[in-house]
Amino acid sequence: MAETKDVFGQEPHPVEDDLYKEPTRKRRKSDRDQRFRAFPSMEQSALKEYEKLESRTRRVLSNTYQKLIQSVFLDDSIPNGVKYLINRLLALIEKPTVDPIYIGLFGSTGAGKSSLINAIIQQAMFLPVSGESICTSCIVQVSSGCCVEYEAKIHLLSDQEWREELKNLTKLLHRTEELGREEADAWNRDEAVEEATWKLQMIYGNGAESKNYEELLRAKPKRKIPASRVITLKAEEAEELSIKLDPYIRTQRRDWDGEAAEMRIWPLIKHVEVTLPKSNLIPEGVVLVDIPGTGDFNSKRDEMWKKTIDKCSVIWVISDIERVSGGRAHEDLLNESIKACQRGFCRDVALVVTKMDKLHLPEYLRERKVGNQAIQSQREAVLERNEMIKLQRTRILKEKLKRKLPADFKVLEASDLVYTVSAQEYWQQALLTEEETEIPKLREYIRKRLLDKKRRTVTKYVTEAFGLLLLTDSFNSTQNLPNEHLHMSVLRRFAEEKVELLEKAIAQCFACMEQPLQEGVRTARTSYRCILRTCLVRSKGNQGFHQTLKAVCLKNGIYASRTLARIDLNEALTQPIYDQIDPVFGSIFRTGKPTGSALMPHIDAFKHSLQEKMTEIGIRSGWKYDSCKKNFLIQEISAILGGLEDHILRRKRRIYESLTASVQSDLKLCYEEAAQIAGKKACERMKDAIRRGVDRQVAEGMFERAQERMQHQFQQLKTGIVEKVKGSITTMLALASSQGDGLYKELADVGSEYKEMEKLHRSLREVAENARLRKGMQEFLLRASPSKAGPPGTSL
């Protein structure tokens, strides 16, 4: 039986539950061992050490927090410095252990995304697969967790979201006059009409497509919709959950006549979250996301499609061997993935070529142009072809990335940009060994990615916690030092001067966008008619395109379906501008050595200059006898400026998309006018309305306004950064002032917590050294181990 839970209910983070109630040592060790079972023993050891460091740090912070709360509990007013400290401690205590790593599998219909996930998680038919048609009908997230059962949460559109889609679907199907036979046939063949009809029939039954919006609002769905808008499925075995889940996420054929209630709900499904019990193959903290290639007609689902792509730190573009060498769909997927590097959190893009076992040997031998060595078997041909594909596609992908991304973008240095995999051979091993299918290689990539993130996160966490304990312990020990106010004034003036220089540096970074924006606008003005003509012309003329074009207008220039390539007129019109700005935009938001256009290195340089000045003043002023103050200032400035990166990343997406958002806003009335057109030759009249509207807006400065809006977004980001830096540094320097400022009071003794935190901070270096030694040992053993032969039966 399916259970329902509140879609808005948020489970508390497991760490928060244990802040003040420590579980038994045996239980914690058992849980930790289970969490890391997906890792080899050497990597498990490193993870356990980092986990132990983080756990002990949280315990120290929690004890410190409780002591501070108790010391000020009865006070009428709490000094500002104590408030700051308590809030910072609480924020660190509640900070998530490690944000999940989202790995997006991004591919078109039949590319093999679901098959690949099934192979990675070692469950052959867990997600529905089919080589002939669309299988997965929505975004599906797969992760492992602490649950004892297999679990799936099916999130449905809210009532308001479905009403919005229902209104657009009925508008799409509304005909104001009788059509002739030829026109009626063309109408019925229109892809958008077929899609809308299918959705309404699935929810309300046959005949729903002929009803209007008000009638359907009163109609009763054929399947009861839970009020919570969440359906929860649970099972003890993977196969059992797969059977329960299949009808919800598998797209049914349009000629299907079944009556299963579950199969009639898929048009309402927003996304699905699947959680596996602790896995030997996929570590907790990694989320594999099956992302359909084109988005969705529903606004909320389409918004989620884009946001899901943008939150992925890794994107694997999935393409089968028969479609990887060309085609618009494959290029669109690559372009969307590269844009995710520009606007989102993505730092790694790779091409995963699937179904690599497919090869017709006689045809391959006839067309073979490489190597002098004779091919003796199907296996040899597959391996040779796979290596050739890997070399060719790596070169092509790297060239494409270089055109769009900064030269020092980390993905360009990746050793593996292309993977050649075969899910079928992973299970059968008739031609290839398990290693040659490259499924284990993808799992290894996932583990290394999580291990590296855990190392960086825990190092940052322990270092930040140490800085706070330095300050806390100094509250009860800081003494007034000679000329301290004078030295703090010097430091304050120095910081103000550096903030001014930082503001100028940021302005120079953003000024680098002006020339490519202007060039892009000029190109857009001269090429927009050609672009529009390409978007509005179909190989079969207007046949089957009338209502699809209406759907484009109803959604303000965007139409996404399950079978057609995504249509986005706004993006197409602004593409010439993006072609000009992409390399510079990527350079601004990259990390690396300070340059005229890179933002973060200037912030890092600002941080280091302040830290050096603090050290210099500390030595002159006598802080060598009060090292807590100096160390606190140095640590806290890192924490303050480190938090800016998240703020910048969140704003980056809004800035990047401001061009298309601006054009879409300017063309809104044009789209609304075109959407109202009906009757004879409506398709041509809609196209004319769109052309006239775009011409009018371009003449009135549409592209120039888009440029101004992007530049305004950059200006807002600069202002936000400077204000955050000024405010944070002012607070920090006030905290570092002497007790005479009235910011402090005598607090509970936290000396023991400080000493323990000092030990933890020192142990970071030891843990890192142990990890390096284990890695070296592992690499040595791999080099020393003999290579594996092919699968049984493949030798001659």
What pLDDT shows up at residue 20?
A: 31
Give kind and range of the element (H or E) at residue 525.
helix 514-536
Mean pLDDT of the chain: 81
Instruction: Using alpha carbons only, give the angle 626, 630, 454 rounded to the nearest 5 degrees.
Output: 125
> In this predicted structure, what is the pLDDT of residue 593?
54
Orientation of helix 546-554 relative to helix 159-173, angle to 10°? 140
Instruction: Report DSSP letters for 153-210, one per residue.
Output: EEEEPPHHHHHHHHHHHHHHH--SSPPPHHHHHHHHH-HHHHHHHHHHHHHH-TTGGG
CA distances from 424 to 120, 129, 142, 320 (A): 12, 12, 20, 13
Structure confidence at residue 17 (pLDDT): 36
The dihedral sign for the CA sequence 105, 225, 554, 195: positive
What is the Cα–Cα distance from 362 to 378, expressed in whole angstroms? 10
pLDDT at res. 686: 93
> Residue 517 burial (CB < 10 Å; 0-12/13-18/19+)?
buried
Low-confidence ranges of the chain (pLDDT < 50): 1-28, 259, 624-625, 739-743, 795-796
Every domain of the chain and the residues it spans: 100-157+231-312, 158-176+189-228, 314-369+376-437, 487-738
Only one residue has tokens 């807006």, namely 697
Q: How many percent of the chain have pLDDT more than 70?
A: 80
CA-based radius of gyration for the chain = 30
DSSP state, 306?
H
What pLDDT score was predicted for residue 375? 84
The predicted structure's pLDDT at residue 329: 76
Are 97 and 50 in contact by the 8 Å Cβ rule? The answer is: no
Exposure string of 90-113, with b = 16+ CB inside 10 Å and e = fewer, is: bebbebebbebbbbbbbbbbbbbb
- pLDDT value at residue 228: 92
Is the entire prediction scored with pTM above 0.95? no
Tokens of 399: 């060239």
